[in-house]
Amino acid sequence: MPTGVHIREPREQLFDAAERVLLRDGPDALTSRAVTVEAGVAKGVLHRHFADFDAFLAELVLDRIARIDGQAAALRESAGTGTVAGNLTGALMDLFESVAVAIVSLVIFRDELRARLRQARPTGVPLMTEAAEMIASYLTAERDLGRIPPDADVDTLAPTLIGAAHMLFADRKAPTPQPSAIHKLITTLIPTTS
């Protein structure tokens, strides 16, 4: 790799390369060499910006968790518009068609990464916990608007939806589930008042 060439936004370039490797080859293929080759940079670039590879992976996961905040705000703002099932279908398709499933596999695959993430996020499975919080927040808003029953247990429904949707998306080699399958899952689990 050439040296002395300025790289714009190296962290994001490395994160994007790691996502491509994860999605294409899975968590067992994700190495510092695979990331830097995919990013088209010298291996030293990664180590210049991160203490070690697990520090890089922890920052990648935390960065992707932060992206869920934007998705959560957009989903909450959709409360009262469209249909509950339609809004949730879109949110779950966006979530699981992204790198989320591969990141969950990565976290499970790497003990040191899990240990580092526990320091920043002591409970739950990273990304899935935040996704469940996103869904619970949205369902609470819809419940407050009367579009789902007042006794709907959003704190149980949200992780149930995340877990069930994750099961549909978990096989990297199978075709991506159709929105209709996600919609059916939602309408089976979430009671609506309309």
159-172 pLDDT, tens digit each = 999 999 999 988 77
Q: Is the pTM of this model over 0.85?
A: no
How many domains in the chain? 2
User: Does a structural domain hold residue 59?
Assistant: yes
More confidently predicted of 128 and 134: 134
Proportion of the chain above pLDDT 90, given as a percent: 59
Domain of 39, in residue numbers: 8-49
Whether residue 117 is found in the same domain as residue 165: yes
Q: Is the dihedral angle over the CA atoms 46, 51, 53, 57 positive or is it negative?
A: negative
Please compute the mean of the pLDDT values over residues 30-46 and round it to a whole number.
Answer: 93
Whether residue 41 is found in the same domain as residue 66: no
Q: Return the axis-axis angle of helices 10-25 and 32-39, rounded to nearest 10°.
A: 110
Q: How many helices (H) and strands (E) does the chain have?
A: 10, 0
User: Does a structural domain hold residue 1?
Assistant: no
Alpha-carbon span 48 to 71, nearest angstrom: 31
Confidence of residue 65 (pLDDT cuts 50, 70, 90): confident
Please compute the mean of the pLDDT values over residues 88-95 and round it to a whole number.
Answer: 94
Whether residue 77 is found in the same domain as residue 99: yes
Q: Which residue has the tokens 């899952």?
A: 185
pLDDT value, residue 7: 53
> Closest Cα partner for 92 from 194, 193, 191, 190?
190
More confidently predicted of 175 and 160: 160
